[in-house]
Amino acid sequence: MIIPEQPTETAPAAKGSSFLSVQDLKVSFATEDGIVRAVNGLSFDLEKGRTLGIVGESGSGKSVTNLTILGLHNPRTTTVEGQILLDGQELVTASDKELAKLRGSKMSMVFQDALAALSPYYTVGRQIAEPYMKHTGASKKEARDRAIEMLTKVGIPQPQTRVDDYPHQFSGGMRQRAMIAMALVNDPELLIADEPTTALDVTVQAQILDLLKDLQQETGTSIIFITHDLGVIANIADDVLVMYAGRCVERGTMAEVLDSSQHPYGWGLLRSIPHMNADVDKPLMPIPGTPPSLLNPPSGCAFHPRCEFRDKVGGDRCVTELPRLELANGHLSACHLTPQQKQDIFAQQIQPQLG
């Protein structure tokens, strides 16, 4: 089926001083099978010192968005349109040299797999010290002292000796802490954390989240936290942006989305995570179906093949018409259900299932 070009969603900018402003971002890749539209008209703002959670299944465009902000996409195969302003500086048109200067100083990233991100050939201390020397011109001795200071900050025991260890000598949780130390060594104003706790057990996961929260309070860094699991960011994010098939389908404060999500995909995410007061014997409800291919996404609302509520919208609107991001019951959502329908379904069907 040929899918007609669909209009870009519109979304009002957040209030307050925006440190990072992403406006109508579109990212596509040329592949042998055709054009993959990974991000399609995404807009959001992030204020200083706040944490934005970007949530969605794999292939929703969340990681591509953040690699594009960092300028880590392949410019030969990727087309980027729209605007990304970091503290007023345009990143979409910035040169590789300008982006490299910003990475590791003004913005940095923590990846999911610390073992893959850290080099096995260099000590942990050297890997923390090098970006510090590069961006500040510090001496080897000063950079080593800074590495020890950062290891102390992220809670590595005996940092004076562990600084000379290699990554394989650290546990999984310690490696993740070391990567956070590396990412924060130059006091970046923006930290992008891409599924930083996915590979860790629940206790270590909670420790890493607490660490990020504490460090943010100390430094005022803005954080984008990417995850497929809404539950992970429930205690750390101020705001949340839910992505599906390269678009934002819901955006609000964390409390708004947790307490009154206004989108069937958001409801699916909420039902698939354990809740504090829920009956422990009650099974979690995974979202049926699989995320769509971005080579040939479904027409209209991309969620329609998986949506159990599309019959409540008149005619075939869900299949033919792209829902725009609009205010409904206090925050933004992109769904053809009326605000009253959303409120009623959430209160009567979804909330009782959450416990």
The CB-of-333 to ligand SF4 minimum distance in angstroms stands at: 8
Count Cβ atoms below 10 Å from residue 168 Cβ, excluding itself: 9
If binding is defined by CB under 6 A, does position 354 make contact with ligand SF4? no
Nearest distance in Å: CB 27, ligand SF4 = 22
E strand or H helix that includes residue 19: strand 18-31
DSSP state of 87: T
Taking the C-alpha atoms of residue 133 and residue 241, their distance in angstroms, rounded to an integer, is 36
Helix (H/G/I), strand (E/B), else coil: 44: strand
Of positions 11, 185, 245, 318, contacts ligand SF4 by CB under 6 A: 318
Q: Does 144 bind ligand SF4 (CB under 6 A)?
A: no
295: Cα separation from own chain's centroid: 22
Tokens 């725009």 belong to residue: 324
Task: Out of 20, 303, 331, 354, point to the residue binding ligand SF4 (CB under 6 A).
Answer: 303
Distance CA 56, CA 250 (A): 11
Examine residue 309 and tell whether it contacts ligand SF4 (CB under 6 A).
Answer: yes
Is residue 313 at the binding interface for ligand SF4, with CB under 6 A as the rule? yes
Under the binding rule (CB under 6 A), the answer on residue 267 touching ligand SF4 is: no
Q: Quick one: which segment of 18-26, 131-139, 177-185, 331-339 binds ligand SF4 (CB under 6 A)?
A: 331-339
Which residues have a Cβ under 8 Å from the Cβ of 260 and sit 6 or more positions away? 329, 330, 343, 346
Cα angle: 294, vertex 299, 302; to 5 degrees: 60
Asked if 336 interacts with ligand SF4 (CB under 6 A), we say yes
Q: Which stretch binds ligand SF4 (CB under 6 A): 18-26, 47-55, 134-142, 335-343?
A: 335-343
- Residues 246-265 vs ligand SF4: string with x where CB under 6 A? ------------------x-
User: Quick check: 323 binds ligand SF4 (CB under 6 A)?
Assistant: yes
Residues touching ligand SF4, count (CB under 6 A): 13
Using rule CB under 6 A, residue 41 touches ligand SF4: no
- Distance linking the first and last C-alpha atoms of the chain: 42
Structure tokens at 28: 């596509």
- C-alpha distances in Å from residue 198, one per residue of 19, 214, 215, 233, 315: 27, 20, 20, 12, 41
Residue (46 or 322) nearer to ligand SF4, CB: 322
350 near ligand SF4, rule: CB under 6 A: no
- Report the sign of the C-alpha dihedral through residues 66, 71, 76, 79, in that order: positive
The one among 110, 335, 350, 354 contacting ligand SF4 by CB under 6 A:
335
Piece of the chain touching ligand SF4 by CB under 6 A; list 12-20, 160-168, 230-238, 306-314: 306-314
Q: Compute the least distance from the CB of residue 341 to ligand SF4, in Å.
A: 9
Residue 167 to residues 104, 116, 123, 181, 327, Cα–Cα distance (Å): 20, 10, 7, 13, 47
- The smaller minimum CB distance to ligand SF4, of residues 232 and 245, is found at 245
Q: How far is the C-alpha of 245 from the C-alpha of 64, rounded, in Å?
A: 12
Question: Residue 19 or 309: which CB sits closer to ligand SF4?
Answer: 309
Measured in whole angstroms, how far is the alpha carbon of residue 237 from the centre of its chain?
10
Binding region for ligand SF4 (CB under 6 A): 264, 301, 303-304, 307, 309-310, 313, 318, 323, 335-337
